[in-house]
Amino acid sequence: MSLVARVRRAIERHSLLAPGETVVVGVSGGPDSLCLLHVLRRLSPEINLNLHVAHLNHQMRGEEADADATFVAGLAADWELPVTIERVDVPALARAHKLAPEEAARRARYAFLAWVAEQIGARSIAVAHNADDQTETVLMHWLRGAGLAGLRGMLPATPLGDLRLEIGDIVPFGHWGLATEPSSLKSQVSNLQSLTLIRPLLEVPRADIEAYCAGHHLQPRFDRSNLDTTYFRNRLRHELIPYLETYNVNIREVLRRSASVIAADYDLLRDQLEAAWGQVVREGSDRALTFDLAAWRALPLALKRSTIREAIHRLRRALRNIDFVHVENAVEILADGETGDQVTLPQGLMLTISYDTFTVADRDYRVLPDLPLLLTSDSVPVLVPGRTRLPESPWTLRARVSSRSAIPAEALTAARGWEAYLDAAVVGSSPALRTRRPGDRFCPLGMGGRSKRLNEFMINEKIPAPWRAHIPLLVNGEGQIVWVCGWRPDERARVTESTQQVVWLRFERN
């Protein structure tokens, strides 16, 4: 089958292009992009395509890069195709955003292609990635420890928004009519998800592309940086893959077949993830995602890992590589972690376990658990007996008074958490709930009446710092703390043999 026929088949099989469509073709001037443009130009009368050539000078190779731009401009003129050519100082871009030059070039290139597509009303951007590029990509992702999403390699068609470019943060310093404000390019490219990156040559080996160029007397430009083995991809291409071929001459095809199998498996897992996501996510925003802990724990291991990865991706759109160690550490802590346990995640994210949920959010995001916390600085009078609703909370404090003899002895000695039995005489007739104040002290039960600073007690009990200002304290009419709710009563409020009346208190969720 001829190369043109193979490209036609790929377009049809993957629905890459529709009749009458306008498509931006990224052309560097090298053999791959030159072949792509030539083939699409031959197919354009048959498919009724409108081609628009786009070339970005990265300013990384001096006069050679300028000559590439001149070549593409002349080629477009000779073939009577519209063309947009721009330049951007990629080395400066890399320094400004602390990126590797290859990553800065990638972001700038896709930003430019997206901008061109937006200007001419195109929805598709064709690039010349080939089968050998796919082999290199799969191997590169495997060496870096990628999950299934990375091991499936490149896809024939990808929504540009899925590339996690954070284009709004990559401003090409005033080029192609843009201002230098960080949001300028994002406003120019209004909806990346509506643009599709297509790869019609993805199943065509590089050798076939070079043969096609020779057979049609095309004279592509040569980029000598492709020989520089200080670049990771070039080392794979020129050193590692030839070495692997000494073990299996078909290693390139083996890697591509593996990627195809993994892509199908990934699609199945993705469907399962989307179904599970709605079951385990309680609420979410662009800053935080809160999960139902019990529902998450019931998931299979693959979906546990996938939901953590997805949470990180949704909150950090530009993050391309998520370390396996981060995900695995989160899974292990969540398996049997307790309220207040935390896990550090990439780029300033923190996972925090609460009473029956866990939250993935910015490190400085206030994550409060679904516990009976006080979210007001005002004192809340407590009805004894009766029910006291906590402000802005689904929790209520229920109180009842009983005689000492009516309470079983084992009930008085059991650890209770959010339930307590206290001496009614110490609680008094006008108890209230409040939050901590500077200088607060109390005598924790079990310490023989010794006084302790409340803040020191909270630290020793490992109460998470964001919670401490919201722990309800039950105080009597004299302001004495009689119960650090959820943790420890005061020794002086304990029920003794001389106690006449007992106040029973329990927090209940409405």
pLDDT tens-digit profile of 230-274? 778 889 999 999 999 999 999 999 999 999 999 999 999 999 999
Reduce the DSSP state of residue 31 to 3 states and report it: helix
pLDDT of residue 415: 58
Neighbours of 260 (CB within 10 A): 15
pLDDT surpassing 60 at residue 227: yes
Lateral strand order in the sheet of 481-484: 380-381, 432-434, 473-475, 481-484, 488-489
Helix (H), strand (E) at residue 505: strand 501-509
Q: Which of 152-166, 288-302, 384-398, 475-489 has the lowest mean pLDDT?
A: 152-166
Three-state secondary structure string covering 250-295: CHHHHHHHHHHHHHHHHHHHHHHHHHHHHHHEEEECCCEEEEEHHH
pLDDT of residue 463: 85
Residues 185-217 have pLDDT tens digits of 444 455 666 899 999 999 999 999 999 999 999
Residues 34-47 have pLDDT tens digits of 999 999 999 999 99
Q: How far apart are CA 417 and CA 228, in angstroms?
A: 65
Asked whether 401 and 447 are in contact (CB, 8 A), the reply is no
Q: Which residues, including other chains, have CB under 8 Å from residue 272's CB and lie 6 or more apart?
A: 302, 303, 306
Neighbours of 201 (CB within 10 A): 29
pLDDT of residue 183: 38
pLDDT of residue 169: 46
pLDDT of residue 224: 75
pLDDT of residue 411: 67
CA distances from 142 to 152, 247, 295, 306, 321 (A): 10, 18, 31, 18, 12
Strands 432-434 and 473-475 turn out to be: antiparallel
> How many whole angstroms from its chain centre is CA 363?
14
Peptide bond into 385 cis (omega under 30): yes
pLDDT of residue 296: 97
pLDDT of residue 128: 97
pLDDT of residue 413: 64
> How many whole angstroms from its chain centre is CA 96?
23
Q: How far apart are CA 374 and CA 435, in angstroms?
A: 7
- Token digits of residue 74: 């002349």
pLDDT surpassing 60 at residue 114: yes
pLDDT interval class at 170 (50, 70, 90): very low
pLDDT interval class at 171 (50, 70, 90): very low
More confident residue, 136 or 225: 136
Q: How far apart are CA 309 and CA 146, in angstroms?
A: 11
End-to-end CA distance of the chain: give it in Å, rounded: 70
Q: Which of 116-120, 149-153, 187-191, 218-222 has the lowest mean pLDDT?
A: 187-191
Q: Which of 16-20, 53-57, 337-341, 435-439 has the lowest mean pLDDT?
A: 337-341
pLDDT of residue 77: 96
> How many whole angstroms from its chain centre is CA 455?
35
Burial 399-413 (b: 16+ CB within 10 A, else e): beeeebeeeeeeeee
Residues 391-404 have pLDDT tens digits of 989 999 999 999 98
Q: Which of 116-120, 130-134, 351-355 has the lowest mean pLDDT?
A: 351-355
The CATH class that applies to domain 3-224 reads alpha beta
Angle at 347 between CA 344 and CA 348, to 5 degrees: 55
pLDDT surpassing 70 at residue 165: no
pLDDT surpassing 50 at residue 180: no
Reference 29, options 94, 73, 62; nearest CA is: 73
Helix (H), strand (E) at residue 46: helix 31-47
pLDDT surpassing 80 at residue 11: yes
Lateral strand order in the sheet of 157-159: 83-87, 50-57, 22-26, 124-126, 196-198, 157-159
Q: Which residues, including other chains, have CB under 8 Å from residue 320's CB and lie 6 or more apart?
A: 164
pLDDT of residue 191: 60
pLDDT of residue 179: 35
Fold type of domain 279-362: 3.30.465
Percent of the chain whose pLDDT exceeds 90: 64
Residues 460-488 have pLDDT tens digits of 988 877 789 999 999 999 999 999 999 99
- Token digits of residue 323: 């370390």
- List the domain boundaries for the chain: 3-224, 279-362, 380-509
Reference 200, options 410, 418, 10; nearest CA is: 10
Taking all residues of the chain, what is their mean pLDDT, rounded to a whole number? Answer: 88
